[in-house]
Amino acid sequence: MARPKKDDTRDTRRDILDRSLELFATHGFTGSSMRDIARAVGVRESALYHHFPNKNAILTTVLGESGPGALNAMMTGDLVRIIEAMGPQQFLRTMGEAVVALWATERERHLMRLIMAESPRLKQAGLFDVQKQIQSVRARIGEVFTKLAERGLIRQVDPDAAVLRFMGPMLLIRVIHLADLNVTPDMAALRDDLSRHLDSFWLTVRPEAPPSGRRRRA
């Protein structure tokens, strides 16, 4: 029998992660078994163990590459150089738009539902501490605001307060537009809300204009 062409091969590991997240979001983590996952993927249950030792490992992998883990990954690289090249206002807009675009993906919407429904149980089981993960993202974004202020690209701000002003409305936008998995999000309305927020936020952090010199009287 000829080998399947590369384009025809399945990424079984990816399928396992995606189908598992859908099941966890719909039926709960405890309500989804390895047998359920295998059935959703379309493979034998034994095939799952070739990729993951147990259901906990599947969840840990999903959480590591999605949600706060994905946001932390977005904040890597030489951000100072990127910010100086783009300008601070455009950087903040690009970052805000990238975060919301990530949240709008099907995977992130399922993850949000899972976290909202099962966060306390996952924390108690030692599988996922959403507060700890969010604090990690908050600290990373706070570092960005600190660097911007140090270079005079924004005004001197309390970085923790700036993060709350920046991320708080974005989280509200996420809940308003993306929380219901049964409704197709109105992306135009979402982007409109986001744009208004980003414009408003920039007014609170943009560098203060130097005082205009007064002409001396003769």
- How far apart CA 41 and CA 15 sit, in angstroms, is 6
Could you tell me the CA-to-CA distances from 189 to 64, 170, 177, 194 in Å, in that order? 30, 13, 8, 9
Span 91-95, mean pLDDT?
91
73/16: higher pLDDT: 16
Same fold: 11-61 with 66-205: no
Q: What is the pTM of this model?
A: 0.76
21/116: higher pLDDT: 21
Instruction: Report domain 66-205's class.
Output: mainly alpha
- How far apart CA 61 and CA 40 sit, in angstroms, is 18
Residue boundaries of the structural domains of the chain = 11-61, 66-205
| pLDDT reported for residue 3 | 42
Residue 87 has pLDDT above 80, yes or no: yes
Fold of 11-61: Arc Repressor Mutant, subunit A (1.10.10)
* Mean pLDDT value across the chain: 85
Tokens of 30: 């405890």
**Nearest in space to 23 (alpha carbons), one of 11, 39, 10:** 39
